Homo-oligomer: A and B are copies of this chain.
């Protein structure tokens, strides 16, 4: 039931209405792996520079995360600097320095090739396929992407989509990818390109899961103090894949619960800068919030 995540490790400088943090641990693989680690064993495939602090590696180990696939390269680690305005909905990117991440070319260790759950973080769709081709066919392959790849590598991205099971993206990306302003129509079109499941993240508005014959909708867990939204989407994906790996099923019931666990992990993540809050959870807290989530959405039949 092991999960492999391929994505970025970064040093993030983040300003929000709650404060500023300089060069804290970030990146899609960070948030994903920490969130997923509460559910199943996780291995990271990523690249960092020689400036990546050992304390961060120790933090992954403390969460039981396998870093054997972590490549260290001469040079600097990927850096991102961003700012959120009062409404906290969208990050304004101030600086992006890809550094060693620019030449990231993930090669899989043999012990990783047989892992059953694969999450292809937001990297070049060519690399996503290269990873996938190195694996023995995993049981579940999920994938993220972003506007840059939709615009600049559309054909490659569509090839990747034809090979995966679950696409996890946000609503703007869904509409952009499909070239459709109605989200439901956009979702239908994306599903026609291969993925059996499309999970649409909508930030403070929750998530929708589309399959050929069903839709599941969940609001976001209401959070009074959002300190830093960075990594919410990746925490969501980590909780989602983590639960799928833990339960071993991929039926509708399991996937709906997975969406809720994803929402739960995202809701914890935003209440502190970086992956701090996410890193200090107990499974009892996670289960308690799952049950609160059920109270939030439950209503009786007529």
Contacts and interface: CB of A to CB of B under 8 A. Distances in A.
A206 interface: yes
Contacts of A208: 219, 222
Interface in A216-235: 216-220, 222-226
Report, as a range, how many residues of chain A touch the other chain: 35 or more
Contacts of A214: 295
Given A299-B256, A299-B260, A224 B291 contact: no
A299 B223 CA distance: 21
A48 B214 CA distance: 45
Interface SS of A by simple majority? mixed
Contacts of A297: 216-218, 297, 299
Contacts of A298: 256
Interface string A68-101: 0000000000000000001110000000000000
Interface of A: 86-88, 181-185, 188, 202, 204-206, 208, 214-220, 222-226, 253, 256-257, 259-260, 287, 290-291, 294-302
